[in-house]
Chain A
Amino acid sequence: MALYLLADVGSTWTKLTAVDDTGSVVARASAPTTVSTDIMQGFNAALSEVRTQAGKKEDKIYACSSAAGGLAMIACGLVPELTGQAAKLAVLGAGAKVLRVYGYNLNRDDIKEIESLRPDILLLAGGTDGGNTRFLLENAQALAAKVKPLPVVLAGSRNAVHEAAEILEAAGFSVEITGNVMPELNKLDIEPARGSIRNLFLRHIVRAKGMETLSRSLAAPLIPTPAAVLAAGKLLAQEIGQLLMVDVGGATTDVYSYGGVEVPTGMMRKGLEPPWDMRTVEADIGMRYSLSSLVEQAGLENILAQAPQEEQWRQELEKILASPGRLVSPGLEGLEMNLARAAVRISLLRHAGTVERIYSPTGAVDVLTGKDLRAIKTVIGIGGVMVNSPEPRGILAMGNEGLLPENPRLMLDSKYIMAAAGLLAGDQPRLASRMLADSLATL
Chain B
Amino acid sequence: MATIVLGVIGSDVHAIGNRILEYAFTEAGFKVINLGVLTTQKEFVQAAIETDAGAILVSSLYGHGEIDCRGLREMCIEAGIGDILLYVGGNLVVGKQKWEPVRDKFLAMGFDRVFPPGTMPDEAIALLKQDLGVS
Chain A residues within 8 Å of B, Cβ to Cβ: 78-79, 81-83, 126-128, 130-134, 182, 184-185, 268, 270-271, 358-360, 362, 365, 367
* CB–CB A133/B52 < 8 A: yes
CB neighbours (8 Å) of B91 from chain A are none
Chain B residues, Cβ within 8 Å of A126:
50
The residue in chain A whose Cβ has the minimal distance to the Cβ of B81 is A132
Given A131-B3, A360-B11, A360-B13, check contact A270 B38 (CB 8 Å).
yes
* Min distance, Cβ B3 to any Cβ of chain A, angstroms: 7
A132, B50: Cβ atoms closer than 8 Å: yes
- Given A182-B50, A185-B35, A365-B38, 6 other A-B contacts at CB below 8 A? A128-B51, A130-B31, A131-B50, A185-B33, A270-B38, A358-B11
Q: List 24 A-B contacts (CB under 8 A).
A: A79-B46, A82-B46, A82-B50, A127-B50, A127-B51, A127-B52, A131-B50, A132-B52, A134-B52, A182-B50, A184-B33, A185-B33, A185-B35, A185-B47, A185-B51, A268-B36, A268-B37, A270-B38, A270-B43, A358-B38, A360-B13, A365-B13, A365-B38, A367-B38
B80 CB to closest chain A CB (Å) equals: 8
On whether A78 and B50 interact (CB within 8 A), knowing A130-B31, A131-B3, A185-B33, the answer reads yes
Residues of A within 8 A of B3 (CB): 130-131
Tell whether, in the assembled complex, residue A81 and residue B46 are in contact, meaning their CB atoms are under 8 Å apart.
Answer: yes
Asked if B49 CB lies within 8 Å of chain A CBs, one says yes
Residues of A within 8 A of B62 (CB): 360
> Which B residue sits closest to A358, measured CB to CB?
B11
Q: Which of B31, B33, B47, B52 has the most CB of A within 10 A?
A: B52
Using an 8 Å CB-CB cutoff, how does the interface string of B14-35 with A read, 1 for contact, 0 for none?
Answer: 0000000000000000010101
In the bound complex, do residue A79 and residue B50 qualify as a contact, i.e. CB atoms below 8 Å apart?
yes
In the complex the two chains form, what is the Cα distance from A362 to B13 in whole Å?
10
Tell me which residues across on chain A come within 8 A of B11, comparing CB atoms: 358-360
Residue of A nearest to B33 (CB): A185
- Chain B contacts with A in 18-77, Cβ cutoff 8 A: 31, 33, 35-38, 43, 46-47, 49-53, 62
| C-alpha spacing A132/B33, complex, angstroms | 14
Q: Which of A83, A131, A184, A360 contacts B52 (CB 8 A)?
A: A131
- Least CB distance, A443 to chain B, in whole angstroms: 40
Neighbouring B residues of A83 by C-beta, 8 Å: 50
| B1: nearest chain-A partner, CB-CB | A130
Please give, as numbers and ranges, the residues of chain A lying within 8 Å of B50 by CB-CB distance.
78-79, 82-83, 126-128, 131-132, 182, 185
Q: Which residues of A lie under 8 Å from residue B35 when comparing CB positions?
A: 185
List the 9 closest A-B pairs by CB distance, nearest first.
Answer: A131-B51, A132-B52, A79-B46, A131-B52, A128-B51, A82-B50, A185-B33, A79-B50, A358-B11
Chain B contacts of A81 at CB under 8 A?
46
User: What residue in chain B is nearest A365 (Cβ atoms)?
Assistant: B13
Closest to B43 in A: A270
Q: What is the CB-to-nearest-CB distance from B68 to chain A, in angstroms, rounded to a whole number?
A: 13
Check A132–B13 contact: CB distance below 8 A.
no
Q: Name the distance in Å between B22's Cβ and chain A's nearest Cβ.
A: 13
Question: When the two chains form the complex, which single residue of B36, B37, B49 contacts A132, counting CB atoms closer than 8 Å?
Answer: B49
Distance between Cα atoms of A282 and B102 in the complex (Å)? 49
Residue of B nearest to A81 (CB): B46
Smallest CB gap from A359: residue in B: B11
Q: Chain B residues with Cβ under 8 A from A134's Cβ? A: 52
How many whole Å from B8's CB to the nearest CB in chain A? 12
User: CA–CA, A134 to B13, complex, Å?
Assistant: 34
Contact A132 B51 (CB under 8 A): yes
The reply to whether B51 and A130 contact each other, CB–CB distance below 8 Å, is yes
Give the CA-CA distance A182 to B33 in the complex, in Å. 13
The chain B residue sitting closest to A83, CB to CB, is B50
Docked pose: A367 CA to B37 CA in angstroms: 11
